Amino acid sequence: MAAELAARGVPALICAAEPSAILDAWAGTGLAVLVDAADGAEPGRIRRCAIADLNESAPVSSHDLGLRQTYELGRALGRFPAALVVVTIDITDTGHGEGLSPAVAAALPAAADVVEAILGEHVGKPTDQQS
């Protein structure tokens, strides 16, 4: 996904699912679009949502913070993007192996289109917190 975006001239950062790295990436950012895989029934399905829409009911555990919790921590520390949009791509096969399934790989250009569309929507617009 990062390569797909880079080919279009969109700056993309690959981040471990770990709060300190994510907060560093977010700090001082006007708009962040967070792209991640989602456990879903339709591999390759692309969805767009706000961080508050993520279903993250698990409490903080020693397996690090989830995305919503990381965002909440960022708000407490003053390190969060002015606007944050989440784009997810459904995956179903999480077994051992390299690469993406054909359905997920085929969805990458469309997901990149969604990211570019979001960037376009925010050009010149005042940002809100969780658009």
82-121: contacts with another protein (CB under 8 A): none
**Contact region with another protein (CB under 8 A), list: 28-36, 75-83, 101-109, 115-123:** 75-83
Residue 17 C-beta: closest distance to another protein, Å: 7
CA distance 122 to 106: 26
Tell me how far apart the alpha carbons of residues 78 and 68 are, in angstroms, rounded to a whole number. Answer: 15
The residue within the footprint of another protein, chosen from 1, 54, 65, 107 (CB under 8 A), is: 65
- When asked if residue 66 is in the footprint of another protein (CB under 8 A), the reply is no
Cβ of residue 52: shortest distance to another protein, in angstroms?
15
Q: Which is nearer to another protein, 55 or 62 (CB)?
A: 62
> Which one, 65 or 112, has the nearer CB to another protein?
65
d(CA 80, CA 39): 25
Q: Taking the CB of residue 36, how many other CB atoms lie within 10 A of it?
A: 14
Of positions 3, 7, 8, 20, contacts another protein by CB under 8 A: 20
Closer to another protein by Cβ: residue 16 or 123: 16
Chain residues that interact with another protein, rule: CB under 8 A = 16-21, 23-24, 59-65, 69, 72-73, 76-78
